[in-house]
Chain A
Amino acid sequence: MAARNIVIETISKIEGNAGLEVVVEGEAVKDLRFKITDYRRFLTVAARGKRMNAVPSFLSRICGTCSVAHLFASLMAIENSQGIEVTEQTKALRRLAYDGLMIRDHALHLYFFVLPDVLGVDSIFDIPDDPDAPGHALLRDSFDIKRLGTDISNATVGAAIHAPYPTVGGFLKPPDHAKFPELLGRLEAVRPQVLRGIEAFLEWDASLVRNSDYLCLRNEERFDFLDGDVTDSNGERISEERFKEYLQYVQIPHSHAEGYRFSGTEEDYLVGALARLNLNHDVLHPRTRADAADAVSVFPSDNVYHNNLAQAIEILQCVDDAIDILNDLRVSEEKPARPDPRARMGASLIEAPRGLLYHSATVSAEGIVEGYDVVVPTAQNQINIENDLRYHFEQNLDKDDESLRLDAEGIIRAYDPCMSCATNFLKMEMTRR
């Protein structure tokens, strides 16, 4: 068979830099490399020597889109190291801000990155400004949904990106609770728009089914991104102390990011909204479960494209959760808890929009950070993504190269990967021999 080289310069609508190289010999995939090509900034190393109270804000710069996730994970790791128990009000405000993050972040991915695939167009710029055009209503919905998520963050933590109010032990400044009644009204008003999005992603028939193991946080009381125990597909609970040893660090020669797999079985696994819906669909908010019943019934699912549907459902979950919080919340003035520093290591495990996020901090008796470690979701998904792509290529070598390229983009995009946490390009090189 004649050699055939295919180079695709730009696959976009993902967050960060990545590449894909595929070598096909005859009827077999000889080599496939999913490469994360963002240059590392080693911010966790740069955090060493800084005062512990300054580190969370610094590390929120790991990521533009989910900066609030890194901020909160860092706050919680340092608080755990210092034995600080935050108030119920702080917990509620963090939950509310996190709902805002999830609403905005998921909506960006679903409507700005994935919706063009659903519609078969290049980008949102190609959706005509015509109310009868396909996608027109969904795109306008997305503006309202994203804006609402951002405004929740603005009112609660001061900004959606690199939020200034949260600090170790609580808040530097109280939320702008005068805005809460208006937000409450908008949350109720946006529900039909969110449900329209869920319907659109439920109807999309894209599919890649491969056996996968899942890992996520689980709280028996409710669907929770900040408080729970890590659980796997078999129901095994993994404590924060055991988390790092439960995973096997894998240095990937062709990638700037490390990969992870289970240390016991050396198998890949998936984190993110699909994992959360698969393992936690029974604890979704009652209104979400009732109003999105058809979509929720899809889970558990092994179709990686259902990560998109899972995110759409999570937007509704966060809307309903935020409504509850705003109905119950009575904000009083509180000072952040600031005991004298103690020498100790502390860790946190929370759900970032793209999956499990681990932070750990080692603090000196003087309150200086001496060591810091982070495990991000996309690094955990990296091996799974590569194996999904390999599986898909092996099953579909009869397809033409353009179709395979589009499929590869769609599969990678379904994971909502966050390479250095925003968007650049994926260069795919495919060689047929």
Chain B
Amino acid sequence: MGQPSHEAGGEGRRERLVVGWFSFTCCEDSTILLTEMLNDHLEGWLRVVEFRHMKSLKTNNSLEGLDVAFVEGAISSDSQAAEARKIRESAEHVVAVGACACTGKPSTSRNQFEDEQIDERIRWYLEHFDYGVNVVPLDEVIRVDDMVRGCPMKAQAFLQTLEKYLKLYEVA
């Protein structure tokens, strides 16, 4: 990982790290764990982090000028892939969060389905909406700078990754 770009997000030094949090195909357990971590960290984080995009907790969201995008979930369709690419373009760094984003599993289960497992009801959904042929982990669609693994993500690993970016951007 290189030094923060001065073009996308302005000066390398920040008063607050600008963060986005996104979810694709998964059970969103890492989002839930994050809301639990807010019990202990909300006040401290708000001093050093601006949550600019976090649909789980905010109505007014923006993709502009993200320093770090944390992305949970696997990619199930072309439209999700396009959305992921948009996030990649908007953020200087992208961190895959949780098992589905990092490995695809267990959301990739349907990749292994045999024809006889796909009954009429499943086929209707696959054909009626824009399901991709396969479900894939995030790094098969966009470049990923870091991974926070676990199902849900390991809380300590998330804290270490956040700390790493706070230092990188010289947030006090």
Q: Indicate if the CB atoms of A253 and B58 lie closer than 8 Å.
A: no
Chain A 406-433 interface residues, beta-carbon cutoff 8 Å to B? 409, 420-425
Q: Indicate if the CB atoms of B26 and A161 lie closer than 8 Å.
A: no
Contact of A422 among B28, B106, B151 (CB under 8 A): B28
Cα(A124)–Cα(B110), bound, Å: 37
Residues on A with beta carbons closer than 8 Å to the beta carbon of B113: 42, 45-46
Interface flag for A256 (CB, 8 Å): yes
Give A77 Cβ to nearest chain B Cβ, in Å: 19
Give B105 Cβ to nearest chain A Cβ, in Å: 9
Q: How large is the interface on A (under 10, 10 to 19, 20 to 34, 35 or more residues)?
A: 35 or more
Q: Indicate if the CB atoms of B35 and A108 lie closer than 8 Å.
A: yes
Cα(A65)–Cα(B35), bound, Å: 10
Interface flag for A162 (CB, 8 Å): yes
Q: Indicate if the CB atoms of A39 and B131 lie closer than 8 Å.
A: yes
Interface flag for A48 (CB, 8 Å): yes
Interface flag for B1 (CB, 8 Å): no
Contact of B57 among A62, A104, A112, A147 (CB under 8 A): A112
Give A158 Cβ to nearest chain B Cβ, in Å: 13
Q: Indicate if the CB atoms of B57 and A13 lie closer than 8 Å.
A: yes
Give B116 Cβ to nearest chain A Cβ, in Å: 10
Residues on A with beta carbons closer than 8 Å to the beta carbon of B106: 41, 43, 46, 58, 61
Q: Indicate if the CB atoms of A61 and B56 lie closer than 8 Å.
A: no
Chain B 81-131 interface residues, beta-carbon cutoff 8 Å to A? 106-107, 109-110, 112-113, 117, 121-122, 124-125, 128-129, 131
B133-147 interface code vs A (CB 8 A; 1 in, 0 out): 001000000000000
Give B24 Cβ to nearest chain A Cβ, in Å: 8
Interface flag for A63 (CB, 8 Å): yes
Residues on A with beta carbons closer than 8 Å to the beta carbon of B55: 10, 12, 423-425
Cα(A228)–Cα(B71), bound, Å: 40
Interface flag for B39 (CB, 8 Å): yes
Q: Which of B39, B125, B131 is most buried by chain A, counting CB atoms within 10 A of its CB? A: B39
Residues on A with beta carbons closer than 8 Å to the beta carbon of B156: none
Give A160 Cβ to nearest chain B Cβ, in Å: 7
Given A40-B125, A112-B35: A62 in contact with B109 (beta carbons within 8 A):
no
Residues on B with beta carbons closer than 8 Å to the beta carbon of A116: 59
Cα(A67)–Cα(B26), bound, Å: 12
Q: Indicate if the CB atoms of A422 and B51 lie closer than 8 Å.
A: no
Q: Which residue of A lies closest to B51 (CB)?
A: A125
Give A387 Cβ to nearest chain B Cβ, in Å: 23
Q: Which residue of B lies closest to A253 (CB)?
A: B128
Given A125-B46, A162-B151, A423-B55: A41 in contact with B23 (beta carbons within 8 A):
no
Q: Which of A12, A13, A143 is most buried by chain B, counting CB atoms within 10 A of its CB? A: A12
Contact of B27 among A64, A122, A129 (CB under 8 A): A64
Leading 3 A-B pairs by shortest Cβ distance:
A422-B28, A64-B29, A423-B56
B residues touching A (Cβ–Cβ < 8 Å)?
23, 25-33, 35-36, 38-40, 42-43, 46, 51, 54-61, 76-77, 80, 106-107, 109-110, 112-113, 117, 121-122, 124-125, 128-129, 131, 135, 151-152
A residues touching B (Cβ–Cβ < 8 Å)?
10-13, 15-16, 38-43, 45-46, 48, 58, 61-65, 67, 104, 108, 112-113, 116, 122-125, 129, 142-144, 146-147, 150, 160-162, 251, 253, 256, 409, 420-425
What 18 new A-B contacts, CB under 8 Å, besides A13-B59, A15-B56, A256-B129?
Answer: A10-B60, A39-B77, A43-B109, A64-B28, A108-B32, A108-B35, A122-B59, A125-B51, A129-B46, A143-B40, A144-B39, A146-B36, A147-B36, A147-B40, A251-B124, A420-B27, A422-B32, A423-B28
